[in-house]
Structure 1
Amino acid sequence: MEPFFQFRTAEFTDNCQTTVHQHAGMLQADSTWQSANGRLTFTDHFLRGIQLTTMTGHLHQPLKLELDVERPWTAMLYQLDGQINSKACASRPLHIGHGHQNVMGDEKTKNYYTFEGQDYNCFSVHIEPEYFTDLVVGNEEWLTIHQARLDRLEPFVLLPPGTVISLKQRALIEQIMACPYGGALKKLFLEARFLDLFIEQQALLRQVQRRAAGSRDRDTLHAIREFLDTHYAEPPSLLELARLFGTNDFKLKKGFRELFGTTVFGYVAERRLSVAQQLLLLTDEPVQQVAEAVGFVNPAHFATAFRQRFGQAPSQFRRGPKHQPVELETSHWPTLLEAR
């Protein structure tokens, strides 16, 4: 079983000793690196399609290593203690701090990492692309997360910086690191715990994806509201509005009401009346022209809506005492103000 990567830095390789053990259907490699800069022990378990790696020890100062990628992989990285940095991993800088994790793939043949921490403890899983695909394709939710990457060997980092290792993930990792069995039973135990960890990882990725989608949806809805702030006089239909912002009319209707407490056209109606109130207050334009400027074709409909909203007909409002203006951005007022 070939490793997914090799450390090539002379300072490391010259001070590292490795012993290899063959188990039933599994290869185990135990390595120890020791120098004036610190001491690290590595345990690698090679099973079908995966490499489980544990790194533990102490570092008196940062350890910089060159890593050669032997074959493509997807990695699940868990930084239990210490931290790891790379200036250009998966086409961008990577930092995983104490208690954090990430999922990534790096197709570059060479990379550079810096390990730091007086107490250093890291666990990682590297998975062959074919085996990763086999695990993912049978589950529709997982497939939606990874489908775009399955057939494209491009670098990626899936989780935002600072994603915390969950208690369940940590418990599964500790079970793997402290496996009490040997021989064939050890192989079965490690495979089972890996699958448990993989399932937990996909659940986390799904949560992150949903949060990201929710954030994008909120951004879209705020953009739609800003659009309506300046297009209230002649707004597009719901379907046209949804297409304009890359969503669908169902999500638009449901999301707009949940976020802003009103329907799209309820918001448009309120916007029209608020602007009309300001125009009546600050200009001498005829009521009919004000109604047309804010999007009312029928003056009677405008008068009825205005009375229901403000308790007065538009003409009564204009003849009454001057009210304190409602705060509005003047950049959104109709151009008839500029024409006076």
Structure 2
Amino acid sequence: MKSTLKSSSFTEKTIVRNYPKGFKSEELREETVVSSSSLVKGETKEIFLDGIKISIRKGKINPPLIIDVEHNFPFFKMHFEIEGNSHYTPKNDRSVAVKIPNGHYNFFFLPMVKGKLRYDCYKRNTLEILFTKDYLKRVFGHSYRAVSSSFGDALERDIPFLMWKHSKPITSQLQFIIDEIINCTYEGAIKKAYLESKITEILTLFFDSLKNKKTYQEKNITEDDYLNILKAETIIKKNLKNPPTILELSQITGINQFKLKQNFKLVFGMPIFSYLTELRMVKAKKLILEKGYTVTEASYEIGYKNPQHFTTAFKRKYNYLPSKLKKH
């Protein structure tokens, strides 16, 4: 299995990476690839499991960065553009274009990859997960086609598959799993088992979404309204402690309150208040687990005036008390 990347921005101009067939690896293996040219600076942490390659990228680039890319193997990928953007344009009829904006994700299968990658951003922070058909069979058994719905059908017919025509915003639920993968402190066999469980969890969410057709109805939302919904979500994220009212969000985004509530639910799969609560719970978890906040401190930080109200909301969502949280 070989990947070839060519760009005038690279020090070596052409980078060729060879991988074991099917990303086979009996034990967890980690590598760090450092880029230090004048146009690309940063590092990529690569983690190899059995049938899985995880890439955690963080760095700065001098846009636009354009790369000719080619992989000589079927390409299965979950791509989370936490910060930055990515745009793949194919040069063959066995791929489809994949555009992932800042804060978005997509899930796709390309039988052949040969085309151009373009990045128009100064910073990139991503989680990219490659896997194989054998891995899917190992995890989901021979019923993987039925389990994975339209993805499984595309796989059997060997045709390109793109989960979302327009990449979706990373939900708070996905962001929490992403953080767990990126910040995992386990080692060896325990880390391998833990990361595999997290990847299976993401795939399960994706397949459940496909099976139950929980897709957001893009045809009912204009491009301008969609961008305004993303603007509303950004405002909510930045103001968890003192969130705006529906009326204030409506005035800021220019969408009437009814349309705002309706379209927000179509895009994010839940009402605005439920989404706000979800974001607050995820942030509280991070504050307690990663920064050592007490339950009371975390509750105040995310906007709860009464810690008991926070504890009740947390238990309602996770079915355990926030005091049970322990750092890994």
Summarize the Cα distance change of 1:25–1:205 in structure 2 as closer, same or farther, 3 Å threshold.
Answer: same
1:43 is aligned to 2:58 = no
1:104 is aligned to 2:108 = yes
- CA distance in 1: counterparts of 2:57 and 2:203, whole angstroms: 20
How far does the alpha carbon of each residue in 1:27-70 deviate from its partner, in whole angstroms, 9 at most, with x for none? 22210112222313111111111111111111232211122213
Summarize the Cα distance change of 1:121–1:213 in structure 2 as closer, same or farther, 3 Å threshold.
Answer: closer
Which residue in the other structure is 2:66 paired with?
Answer: 64
**8 Å CA contact retained: 1:133, 1:150:** no
In the TM superposition, residue 157 of structure 1 has moved relative to its aligned partner by 1.3
Which residue in the other structure is 1:191 paired with?
Answer: 196
In the TM superposition, residue 85 of structure 1 has moved relative to its aligned partner by 0.8
In the TM superposition, residue 102 of structure 1 has moved relative to its aligned partner by 0.9
1:180 is aligned to 2:156 = no
> Aligned match of 1:8 in 1, 6, 9?
6
**8 Å CA contact retained: 1:80, 1:100:** yes
How far does the alpha carbon of each residue in 1:2-24 deviate from its partner, in whole angstroms, 9 at most, with x for none? 56x342336426288x9x9xx97
5+ long unaligned stretches in structure 2: 20-24, 221-328
- CA distance in 2: counterparts of 1:141 and 1:168, whole angstroms: 25
1:128 is aligned to 2:132 = yes
Summarize the Cα distance change of 1:116–1:106 in structure 2 as closer, same or farther, 3 Å threshold.
Answer: same
- CA distance in 2: counterparts of 1:183 and 1:30, whole angstroms: 16
**8 Å CA contact retained: 2:10, 2:40:** no
**8 Å CA contact retained: 1:53, 1:123:** yes
In the TM superposition, residue 189 of structure 1 has moved relative to its aligned partner by 1.7
- CA distance in 2: counterparts of 1:74 and 1:30, whole angstroms: 22
Summarize the Cα distance change of 1:177–1:214 in structure 2 as closer, same or farther, 3 Å threshold.
Answer: closer
**8 Å CA contact retained: 1:24, 1:187:** no
Which residue in the other structure is 2:281 paired with?
Answer: none
In the TM superposition, residue 141 of structure 1 has moved relative to its aligned partner by 6.1
Residue identity over aligned pairs, in percent, reads 18
Q: TM-score, normalised by structure 1?
A: 0.54
**8 Å CA contact retained: 1:84, 1:95:** yes
Which residue in the other structure is 1:202 paired with?
Answer: 207
Quote the RMSD (CA, aligned, Å).
3.2
In the TM superposition, residue 132 of structure 1 has moved relative to its aligned partner by 2.3
**What is the identity, as a one-letter code, of the residue corresponding to 2:42?**
L
Which residue in the other structure is 1:285 paired with?
Answer: none
1:164 is aligned to 2:166 = no
- CA distance in 1: counterparts of 2:27 and 2:54, whole angstroms: 14
Higher deviation after alignment, 91-100 or 144-153: 144-153
Summarize the Cα distance change of 1:126–1:198 in structure 2 as closer, same or farther, 3 Å threshold.
Answer: same
Q: Point out the structure with max Rg over C-alpha.
A: 1
Which residue in the other structure is 1:223 paired with?
Answer: none
- CA distance in 1: counterparts of 2:36 and 2:128, whole angstroms: 21
Q: Give runs of ≥4 in structure 1 deviating > 4 Å.
A: 210-216
- CA distance in 2: counterparts of 1:6 and 1:52, whole angstroms: 18
Q: 1:161 is paired with a residue of what secondary structure?
A: coil
